[in-house]
Amino acid sequence: MVMDPIESITPYKDSSLAMLLEAQRRNAEIHYFQQRDLKLLDGKAIGRSQRLHVRDDNEDWYEFGDVEGINLGDLDVILMRKDPPFDMEYVYTTYILDRAEAAGALVVNAPQALRDMNEKAYTAWFPECTPSTLITRSMDEMRAFLVDNGRIVVKPLDGMGGKSIFVVQNGDNNANVIFETLTDFGQQYAMAQVHIPEISLGDKRILLINGDAVPYALARIPPADDNRGNLVVGAKGIGQELSDVDRSICEQVGPVLKERGVIFAGIDIIGDYMTEVNVTSPTGIRELDTQFDLNIAGQLFDAIESVLD
């Protein structure tokens, strides 16, 4: 697994740890990497691996073993679980994983898909499922979009966890500075979407495994003093069965993701609209497992093993 420092995670709600625990239950040999541990040498993808043992313990959840150099292509499966920001360092890492994939490893998710499917911008491939959305560098166009729609959500294209997401409405004197900040005065792209009032009922995270939806969503309900439905900023995660609209959106999006080599994804739905397609390091496993007595990581590894077969 390629991930952020394991010592920095919150064990009881970390989806990567859930995957590691399931891999260990299946007697897998676990190799742990951070981005700094990966390199290309004469066209070969090589990693500095630390063997890893994990425990489902909020106080003591990991133990490192031997360190060794390893050809990444010799691994059966590489789980790419590095969190955004999706910057050039992330892209360079996918190049290394491309070479590992070419040498025989199954990379979850496919490096090409990770590069192509920006979590915000890829909603443009499913306009029938999304609210009216603008991606632009132009502050004037953002202002016009605000005037046309009255209340909008604006955010950067490379963040996660609610970082730098703003709700703006007509007459807000902060609108100009928000647009200036997000676009760096017209030097970088940002996204604006029509505000969906049903955010008060939750920003629903739906997990898809090899194109098929887990039958429950995690509705992340914003706290009273915040507009954002992100657990990291205090939203409350409430599990619920998928609605007919949820299932319809999953049926449109899931097969496309599967075809592109995305084995594990999380789409976000507010009301009846999809707002993001998360393919880098989707979360929500542990909350849904707890509330509905599931083993989502087990379903994921069943899917991985079916692909390997």
Residue range 119-149, pLDDT digits in tens: 999 999 999 999 999 999 999 999 999 999 9
pLDDT of residue 49: 98
Q: Is there a domain that residue 127 lies in?
A: no
Catalytic residue of the set 155, 204, 260, 286: 155
Q: Are residues 188 and 224 in the same domain?
A: no
171 and 218 Cβ atoms separated by less than 8 Å: no
pTM score: 0.93
Q: Are residues 276 and 243 in the same domain?
A: yes
Active site residue 236: no
What percent of the chain stands above pLDDT 70? 96
Q: Are residues 166 and 205 in the same domain?
A: no
Active site residue 295: no
Q: Are residues 31 and 86 in the same domain?
A: yes
Active site residue 120: yes
**Domain end among 156, 177, 194:** 194
**Domain end among 174, 194, 214:** 194
The residue range of the domain holding 157 is 132-194
Q: Is there a domain that residue 256 lies in?
A: yes
38: CATH: 3.40.50.20
Q: Is there a domain that residue 118 lies in?
A: no
Active site residue 151: no
Task: Take residue 147 and report the two structure tokens written for it.
Answer: 């005037």
Q: Are residues 223 and 138 in the same domain?
A: no
pLDDT of residue 101: 98
Active site residue 44: no
Closest to 1 measured CA to CA, from 95, 120, 93 = 93
Q: Is there a domain that residue 221 lies in?
A: yes
Q: Are residues 208 and 297 in the same domain?
A: yes
Confidence bin at 233 (pLDDT 50/70/90): low
Q: How far apart are CA 154 and CA 164, in angstroms?
A: 8
Q: Is there a domain that residue 123 lies in?
A: no
Active site residue 210: no
Give the angle subtended at the CA of 4 by the CAs of 281 and 72, to the nearest 5°.
85
Q: Are residues 156 and 227 in the same domain?
A: no
Q: Is there a domain that residue 124 lies in?
A: no
Q: Could you report the per-residue pLDDT of 26-39, keeping only the tens digit for each?
A: 999 999 999 999 99
Catalytic residue of the set 82, 228, 260, 286: 228
270: CATH: 3.30.470.20
Q: Are residues 214 and 142 in the same domain?
A: no
Catalytic residue of the set 120, 204, 260, 286: 120
Catalytic residue of the set 158, 203, 246, 276: 276
- Total tally of structural domains belonging to the chain: 3
Q: Are residues 231 and 293 in the same domain?
A: yes
188: CATH: 3.30.1490.20
98 and 128 Cβ atoms separated by less than 8 Å: no
Q: Are residues 256 and 218 in the same domain?
A: yes
Q: Are residues 178 and 162 in the same domain?
A: yes
Q: Is there a domain that residue 117 lies in?
A: no
Catalytic residue of the set 13, 81, 204, 205: 205
Catalytic residue of the set 278, 286, 287, 289: 278
Strand residues in the chain grouped as ranges (E): 2-3, 31-32, 38-41, 44-54, 62-71, 77-81, 106-108, 133-136, 151-156, 166-169, 190-194, 203-209, 212-213, 216-221, 236-241, 264-270, 273-278
Catalytic residue of the set 22, 268, 287, 289: 268
Number of neighbours of residue 170 by Cβ within 10 angstroms: 13
Mean pLDDT value across residues 74-84: 96
Q: Are residues 165 and 252 in the same domain?
A: no
pLDDT of residue 164: 82
Catalytic residue of the set 81, 82, 204, 220: 220
pLDDT of 181 over the 80 cut: yes
pLDDT of 267 over the 90 cut: yes
**Domain end among 142, 173, 194:** 194
Q: Is there a domain that residue 232 lies in?
A: yes
